[in-house]
Amino acid sequence: MDARGLAVLVAANNLATARDGSLRLAGVTPAVRRLLRAAGLDAVFLPGTAAAFGRIA
């Protein structure tokens, strides 16, 4: 996944949120999990896991 992939996820999440929904990811590979964490998006797409990594969710 690259910056374009992250942008698509953020846009999809924004659309879902605007419609009182949410977007969550499942089956995330360790590499994508690291990318989401580095971008500060793990708390958005992987709720509950940010605290496990020592971050405030």
pLDDT in tens, 15-42: 999 999 988 898 999 999 999 999 999 9
pTM of the entire structure? 0.73
Nearest CA to 31 among 4, 2, 7?
Answer: 2
How far is 4 from 54, CA to CA, in rounded Å?
27
Domain count of the fold of the chain = 1
Looking at per-residue confidence, does 57 or 50 come out higher? 50
> Mean pLDDT score of the chain, rounded to an integer?
85
User: What is the signed CA dihedral for 28, 5, 14, 39, rounded to 10 degrees?
Assistant: 70
- Whether 55 has a pLDDT exceeding 60, the answer reads no
In this structure, is the dihedral angle defined by the CA atoms of residues 32, 24, 44 and 52, taken in order, positive or negative? negative
How much is the pLDDT for 46? 85
* 47: containing domain: 3-53
